[in-house]
């Protein structure tokens, strides 16, 4: 039982980071139908930016906030300077998705050029080896922090989307852009805010993953793919789905890695996804948008 809880909780910690990545992906997908392939790379750019700031002896709290801002501004800049002009020239959806892929590759190139390809340790105030004993279960400080970050990020996003007027405008924009515009909702600004918010969630995940993995320009690739898978599992256009998908994926990985073999960790996770999608192609909580033609 103890072993089970141990694997479960470490899976939960990783899963909450997958959930954050997945939330960012579905936030963009449901409002623009774009799969943001640069999502992981924006997060790693944020983490590298944080690494540099830490080298300047800036306190970590401030570094954390500045890294989030950096990621958001990067994504909003991409939206305004690249996506909007592309849309004006009537770029197809696929074309716009390729643009995000391009952005990802550019960021990878730039981070390799500036910070090098060598994996670097990421100094983080929460330690992976310091362990708390909660009711006989040993949890590392980092896992506790990670679960808290995932929880807090999800709750904040929920409050933003469901309880504020900005969130209402975001929902209206994602459900029907033209209708939202005719009601006077500045859809472009709303979408830019969505891109910024999505990137912010991605950077949070990136900063918590950096101490677990070593920091190199490609360290977010696997978490990005897992987040993507989690979003599909939950239903790409559902925000609660992204959270559920992320947690299931993380826990499945944790249990498979613990009981079967570390090598089998990814395999089992994706077997579950295949099984779910065979039964519910729209994902666990997904719903197909219907449009009257």
Q: What are the residues binding other proteins (CB under 8 A)?
A: 165, 168-169, 171-172, 175-176, 178-188, 287, 290, 292-293
**Residue closer to other proteins, measured from CB, 251 or 285:** 285
Q: Are the CB atoms for 33 and 93 separated by under 8 Å? A: yes
Cβ 179 to other proteins shortest distance, Å: 4
Minimum Å gap between C-beta 170 and other proteins is: 12
Q: What is the spatial distance between Cα 197 and Cα 94, in angstroms, rounded to a whole number?
A: 23
Distance in angstroms between the alpha carbons of the first and the last residue of the chain: 55
> By C-beta, is 92 or 182 nearer to other proteins?
182
Between 89 and 165, name the residue whose CB sits nearer to other proteins.
165
* Least distance in angstroms from the C-beta of 178 to other proteins: 5
Report residue 113 as tokens: 């050029």
Tell me the C-alpha distance between 91 and 41, whole Å: 23
Could you give the C-alpha distances from 41 to 18, 37, 121, 224, 241, in angstroms and in order? 15, 8, 18, 9, 23
To the nearest whole angstrom, how small is the minimum distance from the Cβ of residue 43 to other proteins? 28
Nearer to other proteins (CB atom), residue 146 or residue 174: 174
- CB of 273: closest distance to other proteins in angstroms? 26
In terms of CB distance, is 144 or 177 closer to other proteins? Answer: 177
Distances, alpha carbon 25 to alpha carbons 34, 71, 141, 239, in Å: 9, 14, 28, 9
Return the SS3 of 211.
Answer: coil
């Amino acid at each position: 039982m103890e072993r089970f809880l141990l694997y479960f909780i470490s899976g939960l910690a990783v899963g909450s980071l997958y959930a954050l990545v997945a939330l960012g992906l579905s936030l963009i997908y449901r409002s623009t139908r774009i799969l943001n392939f640069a999502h992981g790379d924006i997060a790693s750019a944020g983490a590298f930016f944080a690494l540099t700031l830490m080298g300047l002896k800036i306190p970590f709290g401030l570094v954390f906030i500045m890294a989030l801002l950096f990621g958001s501004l990067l994504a909003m800049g991409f939206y305004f300077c690249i996506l909007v002009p592309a849309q004006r020239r009537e770029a197809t959806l696929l074309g716009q998705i390729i643009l995000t892929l391009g952005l990802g590759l550019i960021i990878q190139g730039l981070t390799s050029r500036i910070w090098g390809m060598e994996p670097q340790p990421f100094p983080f105030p929460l330690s992976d080896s310091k362990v708390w004993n909660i009711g006989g279960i040993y949890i590392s400080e980092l896992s506790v922090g990670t679960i808290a970050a995932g929880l807090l990020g999800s709750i904040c996003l929920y409050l933003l989307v469901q309880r504020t007027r900005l969130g209402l405008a975001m929902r209206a924009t994602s459900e029907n852009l033209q209708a939202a515009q005719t009601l006077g909702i500045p859809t472009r600004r709303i979408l830019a805010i969505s891109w910024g918010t999505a990137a912010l969630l991605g950077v949070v995940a990136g900063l918590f993953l950096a101490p677990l993995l070593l920091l190199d320009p490609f360290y977010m690739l696997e978490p990005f793919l897992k987040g993507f898978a989690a979003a599909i599992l939950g239903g790409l256009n559902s925000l609660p789905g992204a959270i559920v998908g992320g947690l299931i994926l993380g826990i499945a990985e944790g249990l498979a890695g613990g009981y079967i073999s570390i090598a089998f960790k990814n395999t089992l996770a994706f077997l579950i996804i295949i099984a779910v999608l065979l039964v519910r192609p729209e994902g666990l909580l997904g719903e197909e948008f219907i449009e009257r033609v």
